[in-house]
Amino acid sequence: MNQSLYALIESRFPADPSRILIETDGGAAYSWRDLDALTARYARLMSELGLAKGDRVAVQTDKSPQAMFLYLACLRGGFIFLPMNTAYQPDEVDYLVGNAEPRLLVCRPEVETTTKDIAAAHGCLNVLTMDGDGRGSFAEAAQAVPADFSTVDCAADDVACILYTSGTTGRPKGAMLTHRNLSANALALVSYWGITAGDVLLHALPIFHAHGLFVACNTTLLAGARMLWLARFDGDRVLELLSRATTFMGVPTFYTRLLASPRLTRDACRHMRLFVSGSAPLLEETFRAFEERTGFSILERYGMTETGMNTSNPLTGERRPGTVGFPLPGVSVRAVGDDGNVLGTDGVGVLQVKGENVFSGYWRMPEKTGEDFTADGWFKTGDVGKIDADGYVHIVGRAKDLIISGGYNVYPKEVESVVDRIDGVVESAVIGVPHPDFGEAVTAVVKRLPGRTDVTEAAVIAEVKTRIANYKVPKTVHFVEELPRNAMGKVQKNVLREMFSSRVSSLIG
């Protein structure tokens, strides 16, 4: 039997293919029949371009239904889909392309020339464009081939997607997710969250990360449900459209922004069934305020690019704020102490997970993969947590040096290496400080060369912006004479966080 995720989705198509799957904010509608025809055309085009099973397709496009169909066409054709955040700058794209060696790159028309240069430098000959309306040279070429394609046979362990995630020590790593990983996780969520064909998901997340693509789209597709599609999160539009939706998924920033509007009321949510939050910790005060205003307790769940979703608060039963709920069916979670011993109730340690959801390794990095798994096959998440007497998992911190800003991960090391290359900078340390909108804000602490007062906050920010994605750019830059270090010479980031957290939050507040 074909184990491809696309084959699984196909096996669950609604009986009536003219049913609407996606309705965009611009009023366009796409049925399941459209999904079938467009993915056939797209997959056919990619094979005619010479792509074979296992070839990578790197995509950096704005969000559109066609961009999702391109993802599905890759699953259908057995090609490996590799989405990139649209905020990535050329240096970041260049690294990913060099590392993944895609056979095809699909990019936004406005960066076609730069992308072609990057592609050529890495021997990739196929670069096509797709804009936010799904138009461009990819769609044009697809129009010229027949909408006729037989779904390619894939084994459960074949890689379906590679998602890059940065690391604490170096360059981004490509997490290889198999058809089994994606299928198992989406099926678990469909059943755990009770998603049915009657659901309408208001989709406002980006689709280049696991949350918007796998958690949101895959569950909708497997349940035969429907999506109201926003190109990006827009609080006012979300509030207007909630009356036509039944489910919503977001990062905590979505919820704090919705709460800032007086239009978020019980009445606005009257048709809703479920609000889900993840990708970053949901503050207890946000949970309580949302419950008070709307009557809904937000369902918080916990996941990672490498694992998909690991735990979730229950659909029925108590959703406990400050916890991420129970391990999903088929997923095991344990907390492990520094000595490697598995901890009992309430023991705080690094969380490790095991299950069909867990990725198959980092692309072409067997050593790194080896380091991140235990000998008995558990994946070390780098999140610090505990499991309480009732079985709820709590995340209490991170063993990895990571900042989560508005649901996007920022690895300080990556930002520091860019800041350190600026002329006049001796060294830097990048930390996360509390931020009312993004949860945490990227903040740089910099030591300049003597007399280099021309290296200002604005100059540092402007320079970093040209190198890395905008959400990684420090919101604030502080200058110090010396970075505080411990006896081993290691920068004491906790000291810096204490020094600068109150100053920044009081500035914001």
Give residues 283-302 in contact with ligand AMP (rule: CB under 6 A): 300, 302
Phi first, then psi: give them for residue 40, nearest 5 degrees.
-65, -45
Interface residue with ligand MCA, options 174, 406, 412, 474 (CB under 6 A): 406
The reply on whether position 304 binds ligand MCA by CB under 6 A is yes
Give residues 405-434 in contact with ligand AMP (rule: CB under 6 A).
Answer: 409
Which one of 41, 180, 203, 211 is in contact with ligand MCA (CB under 6 A)? 211
**297 DSSP 8-state letter:** P
Check residue 303 for interaction with ligand AMP (CB under 6 A).
yes
Beta strands in 305-388, from DSSP E residues, in sequence order:
308-312, 326-327, 331-336, 349-355, 361-362, 379-387
List the single partner that 381 binds among ligand MCA, ligand AMP, none, CB under 5 to 8 Å by kind: ligand AMP
Residue 333 contact, options ligand MCA, ligand AMP, none, Cβ 5-8 Å cut-off depending on partner type: none
Among 283, 162, 252, 274, CA closest to 214:
162
Contact call for residues 364 and 433 (beta carbons, < 8 A): no
Question: What's the min distance (Å) between Cβ of 285 and ligand AMP?
Answer: 15
Asked whether position 229 contacts ligand MCA by CB under 6 A, the answer is: no
Rank residues 119 and 441 by Cβ distance to ligand AMP and give the closer one: 441
Q: Going residue by residue from 154 to 193, which x/- string records binding to ligand MCA, judged by CB under 6 A?
A: ----------------------------------------
Count of CB atoms situated within 10 Å of the CB of 284: 12
Gyration radius of the chain's alpha carbons: 23
Residue 179 phi, psi (nearest 5): -60, -40
- Identified binder of ligand MCA from the candidate list 95, 296, 471, 479, rule CB under 6 A: 471
What six digits make up the tokens of 178?
């198999």
Q: Which does 324 bind (CB under 5 to 8 A by kind): ligand MCA, ligand AMP, none?
A: ligand AMP
Type of residue at 192: Y
What are the angstrom distances between the C-alpha of 281 and each of 70, 123, 234, 264, 346?
Answer: 31, 41, 21, 21, 19
Stretch that binds ligand AMP, among 46-54, 127-135, 286-294, 303-311 (CB under 6 A): 303-311
Angle at 92 between CA 90 and CA 98, to 5 degrees: 95
Distance between CA atoms of 387 and 336, rounded to whole angstroms? 11
Neighbours of 157 (CB within 10 A): 12
Angle, helix 284-294 to helix 252-259, in steps of 10 degrees: 50
- Residue 473 Cβ vs ligand AMP, minimum distance, rounded to whole Å: 18
Which 305-344 residues touch ligand AMP, going by CB under 6 A? 305, 324
Binding of ligand MCA by 407 (CB under 6 A): yes
Question: Which residue ranges make up the site for ligand AMP (CB under 6 A)?
Answer: 165, 210, 278-281, 300, 302-305, 324, 381, 383, 395, 398, 404, 409
Which residues form the interface with ligand MCA (CB under 6 A)? 205-206, 209-212, 232-233, 251, 253, 278-279, 303-305, 405-408, 438, 470-471
